[in-house]
Amino acid sequence: MDERRIPVPGWSTAITQVGFHKILVRGYPLEELIRNLSFPEVVFLTIRGELPTKEQARVLDAALCAIVDHGFFAPTIVAARVVASANPQSIVPAMASGILTVGSVTVSPQETAELILEASKLMREEGLSMEETARRVVEELRSKGRRIPGLGHPLHPDEDPRASALKEVAVKNGLWGQSSMLYEEIHKAFVEISGRFLPINIDGMLGCVLTELGFEPKEMAGIAAISFMPGIIAHAVEESRDIKLRVVEGDYTGVSERHLPPDFIRR
């Protein structure tokens, strides 16, 4: 063991080995990655553990471009700009606050992927067709009052152009498989059963594509956050240039002004 390395008892990792003049990411010297790989390829390697094929790298590249920004309509950007206005000296707190808005309501490929995996398990264990599985999933979720993740967007009621573009890249590169087709059947069943059309949004499409790439649902939330990061940085810097605190003037709906009873007045 190199005496200049300080081991941490009880800690271990299969991701990176760091030593004197050595940084190995999944076994590969980092300098080799710097010289030869693209950022999507390094992201794939670091998270999944192996190098991607050319097609996998292209589709992940498209996924990382998919939600680079959505302006003031995204709570991610609103949160980042509010914090940047309060702390203009550094954009790091704003970046952190923006990432903290990533969840089940927005930027949520994780929930779509979890649904795909549950539906795939149901189809496999009960020997159902894709259509039967989709109807079973939709009926069960509706009976519990739960929404279908990855559907609908107030600004894109007919088609989410980001989702369509990402699917196009996945299909072109041979990465539109059973998981994605099953989710499309779930979408179709939802429209038929509910009588309401909601398009597959970019979160839903990311859930499909990242599942085809072999990522786990929890990893997908992080990949979505990486995609959003350039927009967060740009907005945080723009906000910090104008030193003015962002505040919200909301309507007060509580009781009218009142005063403490005499018994509570300290003499």
Q: Is 185's pLDDT higher than 90? A: yes
Beta-carbon contacts of 244 under 8 Å, excluding residues fewer than 6 positions away, are 85
Residue 61's SS3 state is: helix
* Every domain of the chain and the residues it spans: 14-52, 109-218
pLDDT in tens, 86-96: 999 999 999 99
Instruction: Report the alpha-carbon distance of residue 66 to residue 60 in Å, rounded.
Output: 10
What confidence category does residue 7 fall into, taking pLDDT thresholds of 50, 70 and 90? low
Which of 122, 143, 137 has its CA nearest to residue 187? 137
Q: CA torsion angle for 31, 37, 38, 40 (degrees, to 10)?
A: -100
Q: How far is CA 93 from CA 47, 120, 218, 222, in A?
A: 25, 40, 23, 18
Two structure tokens written together for 24: 């190995």
Specify the higher pLDDT residue, 56 or 246. Answer: 56
Instruction: Report the alpha-carbon distance of residue 133 to residue 144 in Å, rounded.
Output: 17
Two structure tokens written together for 40: 């999507």
What percent of the chain shows pLDDT beyond 70?
97
For the purposes of burial, counting CB atoms within 10 Å of the CB of 132, is it exposed (0-12), middle (13-18) or buried (19 or more)?
middle
Q: Is 6's pLDDT higher than 70? A: no
Q: CA torsion angle for 31, 32, 36, 38 (degrees, to 10)?
A: -60
Instruction: Report the alpha-carbon distance of residue 88 to residue 74 in Å, rounded.
Output: 21
Q: What is the CATH number of domain 109-218?
A: 1.10.230.10
Beta-carbon contacts of 132 under 8 Å, excluding residues fewer than 6 positions away, are 123
At residue 114, the pLDDT reads: 96
